[in-house]
Structure 1
Amino acid sequence: MQAALRQHLGGARWALRVSEAALRPRCVGPASPPAPRCWSCGGPVPGAAGLPHFCPSCRALQPPGPRPDLFRLMDCDRSFSLDVQRLQRRFRSLQRALHPDRFGQRPPKEQHYSEQHSSLVNKAYQTLLNPLSRGLYLLELNGVEPAQETDCDADSEFLTEIMEINEKLAESKNEDSLEETETLIKVKREELTKEVTAAFERDDLQEAKKLLAKMKYFANLEDKLKNKKMPS
């Protein structure tokens, strides 16, 4: 009789453990985001996030993704050293495929997406083509605060050089003297570009930030030079 009682109690304890396990919350991993669907036909839209793509079913142009990586958009390595010809080829290819003129007979929503894509491609091209804006964008991607001109205030020798070029530019009265100043600014910009390239290659982002701050000074000088050369 005692053996039967022990067997009955054991069965009851097993049933209790099973019921507790059923009530215990299960660990469930994070739900995967739903697959994107075409705005036009509702079909699945595979493809790289943020890149321009068309619905494989109805060929409708899909909207641009939020905050796309401009390097990825333009099919370039995320690097300060850039293949300009490759960038230009990608720009022309995307503009041919996405230009609003190609979507004049499409629904208004698709026309709007075309305008958004075209504007984004223009922005990406201009950002990556210019060494200063390309470097500032790289800092942003790496979580570094934007370079400000005040970042190089401690370099008195550099600031003196900038002051002298400013004075030279202000005193330029003819085309020859303006061209001389323009050549000087160009040489200094090229030297800085090489230094920024080296800083990014060794992953010294703070040094790159200081050098980009210096490049901002020369960008301002170039703007002044252009205004000086414009006919009054």
Structure 2
Amino acid sequence: MSEMSLRALRIVRSSRDVLHLNWLMTSPLSVSDSVPCLVHWMSTRFPNRDVWHSSINFRALRKGRELFYDTKQVSSPRNYCTGQVRLNCWNCKRPLDKTPTFFCMFCNVVQPPDEGASYFTIMDCDYTFTLDTQRLQKRYLQLQRSLHPDNFGQKSVKEREYSESQSAHVNKAYKTLLKPLSRGVYMLKLEGIHVEEGSDSGVDSELLMMLMEINEALDEAQTPEEASKIGQDTKGKLTALTEQIDAALHKGELQAAKALLTQMKYYANIEEKVKEKLSEFI
């Protein structure tokens, strides 16, 4: 084939691709249908480009309104969105309306736990360090009443297994979010920051000395009043740390939040020791 013919073929193919792109951009498909279709088309035409993770915004005009399709996939730590994946009920095979789903809305059969969903999504709580613990407890009781394995004694083996795994998953989510320390550690984990266990690295030496003195005073406490005084001081410190951590997380100062959570870990340990000490006086 001559060079002139090859050039003409490229022009025709290029024009066809542009027409295909224009059709995709102006097609009356829904956003959820057109965007994956467009992404697939782009990935097959430009295999060496990571189109799905690009920051390009495609503009489409429809019915006089501007719609913006952003092909950048955003992985939210709040809910671990699974994107365009649609899940179906394992029993009746019908699509599930949302995620996480505990029961199929059609056949009312319990579903397996969604391991990709964050604990905040499972417990229907706002993604915040100072969450509403009363709402958390209400949600926990509601879920356990419906998911507890005792409710599935007469069901199939698969349903019993799913109820047990769902119940255990809800328990773990509840216990993690209930206390400020474990909640904060989990929030940092979602952001990709790990808080080391049992390590004094990064802790101010002056703070460590102060903590040692508090522990020594608690060990030497001779009366419930002395131990209670240490407990009250510790509680006040934990309250102040809670406010500081919440502010740091709101500002996106994750390393500062990590340092404050490390302090909270030590004061939370002292709080537990105070309870043990008080039990000795009973």
Structure-1-length-normalised TM-score: 0.80
Q: Which runs of 4+ in 1 moved over 6 A?
A: none
2:96 is matched with 46
Q: Could you list the per-position Cα deviations for residues 100-137 of structure 1 after superposition, in whole angstroms to 9, with x for gaps in the alignment?
A: 12212111211111111111111111111100011101
Using the alignment, how far apart are the partners of 2:133 and 2:273 within structure 1? 26
2:69 is matched with none
State the shift of 1:204 in Å. 0.7
- The match for 1:158 among 207, 218, 232 is 207
Using the alignment, how far apart are the partners of 1:17 and 1:173 within structure 2? 94
- The one-letter code of the counterpart of 1:143 is G
- The one-letter code of the counterpart of 2:273 is K
Contact 1:152–1:214 (CA<8 Å) still a contact in 2?
A: no
Q: In structure 1, list runs of 5 or more residues that go unmatched.
A: 1-8
Q: Does 1:112 align with 2:161?
A: yes
- The one-letter code of the counterpart of 1:48 is K
- The match for 1:172 among 185, 207, 221 is 221
1:37 is matched with 88
1:14-93 aligned within 5 A: 17=9, 27=44, 35-41=86-92, 43-49=93-99, 51-93=100-142
Contact 2:147–2:163 (CA<8 Å) still a contact in 1?
A: yes
State the shift of 1:170 in Å. 0.7
Using the alignment, how far apart are the partners of 2:249 and 2:103 within structure 1? 36
Inter-CA distance 76–34: structure 2 relative to 1 (3 Å threshold): closer
1:4 is matched with none
Inter-CA distance 33–48: structure 2 relative to 1 (3 Å threshold): same
State the shift of 1:201 in Å. 1.6
How many aligned residue pairs are there? 212
State the shift of 1:147 in Å. 4.7
Which deviates the most, 186-195 or 130-139?
186-195
Q: Secondary structure at the match of 2:200?
A: helix
Using the alignment, how far apart are the partners of 2:229 and 2:151 within structure 1? 46
Contact 2:89–2:96 (CA<8 Å) still a contact in 1?
A: no
Give the greater-gyration-radius structure (CA). Answer: 1
Q: In structure 2, list runs of 5 or more residues that go unmatched.
A: 14-40, 46-50, 53-82
Inter-CA distance 67–33: structure 2 relative to 1 (3 Å threshold): closer
Identity fraction in percent: 41
Contact 2:176–2:183 (CA<8 Å) still a contact in 1?
A: yes
Q: Of the two structures, which has the highest relative contact order with CA contacts closer than 8 Å and spacing of 6 or more?
A: 1
Using the alignment, how far apart are the partners of 1:201 and 1:57 within structure 2? 40
Q: Secondary structure at the match of 1:105?
A: coil
Q: Secondary structure at the match of 1:150?
A: coil
1:218 is matched with 267
- The match for 2:149 among 100, 111, 135 is 100
Contact 2:181–2:261 (CA<8 Å) still a contact in 1?
A: yes
2:64 is matched with none
Q: Does 1:121 align with 2:153?
A: no
When the two chains are superposed, the root-mean-square deviation of aligned CA atoms in Å is 2.9
1:5 is matched with none
Using the alignment, how far apart are the partners of 2:249 and 2:133 within structure 1? 18
- The one-letter code of the counterpart of 1:103 is F
Structure-2-length-normalised TM-score: 0.67
